[in-house]
Amino acid sequence: MQRREFLHKSALAGAALAAGSQFTLAGAQELPLQGKKALFVWGGWMGHEPDKTRDIFVPWMRQMGAHVTVSDSLDAYTDAELMASLDFIVQIWTMGKIEGAQEKALLKAVKEDKVGLAGWHGGLCDSFRNNTEYQFMTGGQWVAHPGGVIDYDVNIVDHIDPVTAGLNDFHMKSEQYYMHVDPNVKVMATTTFTGEHADWIEGCVMPVVWKKYYGNGRVFYTSLGHVAADFDVPESLTIMERGILWAAESKYAEKEAWIQAVYKDHG
Ligand SMILES: [Zn+2]
């Protein structure tokens, strides 16, 4: 626990550096999530340890100044008063079923009301397999993790974006997510498949960390976080925390412009 607290502090320092004058650690006049209202929704398949990861991120969000409502029910999305009060949502909910009214309220919050959304692994991008509009929002859907828990590297491809600035490539022993990814996302880290467990994907470069918009609402995702111990890897924890900080500014920050995916014209 002590180690993770140290990591939390390192991540904050990184975020402070990355964001320039916006956050000041030394003076601590204002915490990065001061005054922000958040909803943390956890549940679904317990193999992804939504309870343990809740206990990593909820205390940290509170420590950063956020007022956090924690819910183990998707019905939180239909609480109109709560939803209207929110700045951002963090969801860890794998392989579940979302009802029509719940989904509609969540989509509207992000798309129309600019509520930020952040999550990781299957908790955001393998949540509701039948819900294509939900997947349109998140920007990806898990389809395979060839070989199960394996050794692989994560490569930082964006050294300027505050989420990954200052980080080096790092190693994971976990599930290497093979995903169907929306081309209209900003990718900050990738991983390359070896082909050892599925020979036809050898050399495939797959996004690991991205940000995007759904309407005008910010959406942040990292495919790392199969189990809570994945956040013992300092870079993995830092990326998720900085992603939450980015999503939390959804209602207040200017919409970012970035180069979108392009395909070569071979004609
Ligand atoms: Zn997993």
pLDDT at 257: 85
pLDDT for residue 262:
67
Least confident window among 14-18, 26-30, 262-266: 14-18
H helix intervals, 73-176: 80-85, 100-111, 121-125, 132-138
- Centre of ligand 1 to C-alpha 251, Å, is 31
Query: How much is the pLDDT for 1?
Result: 46
Residue 261 Rama label (left phi>0; alpha psi -120 to 50; beta): beta
- Cα of 244 to ligand 1 centre, how many Å? 20
pLDDT at 267: 67
Which amino acid, 223? S
Average pLDDT over residues 77-96: 98
Ligand 1 center from residue 47 Cα (angstroms): 7
Ligand 1: centre distance to CA 94 (Å): 9
Across the chain, mean pLDDT equals 92
* Mean pLDDT, rounded, for 131-159: 98
pLDDT category of residue 232 using cuts at 50, 70 and 90? very high
Average pLDDT over residues 221-229: 98
Number of neighbouring beta carbons within 10 Å of residue 68? 19
Structure confidence at residue 181 as a pLDDT band (50, 70, 90): very high
Query: For residue 195, how far is its CA from the centre of ligand 1 (angstroms)?
Result: 19
- 115 vs 27 pLDDT, higher one: 115
Match domain 2-248 to its CATH number in 3.40.50.880, 3.40.50.300, 3.50.50.60, 3.40.630.30: 3.40.50.880
Tell me which of 95 and 14 has the higher pLDDT: 95
**Ligand 1 center–CA 255 separation, angstroms:** 32
- In order, the DSSP letters of 152-186 are EEEEE--SSSTTTTTPPPEEEEEE--EEEE-SSSE
Which residues lie below 8 Å from residue 232, measured CB to CB, with a gap of 6+? 3, 4, 7
Domain-by-domain residue ranges, the chain? 2-248
- Paired tokens of 77: 């999305």
pLDDT band at 176 (very low <50, low <70, confident <90, very high): very high
Residue 207, φ and ψ in degrees, nearest 5: -60, 140
Provide the token pair at 144: 């395979």
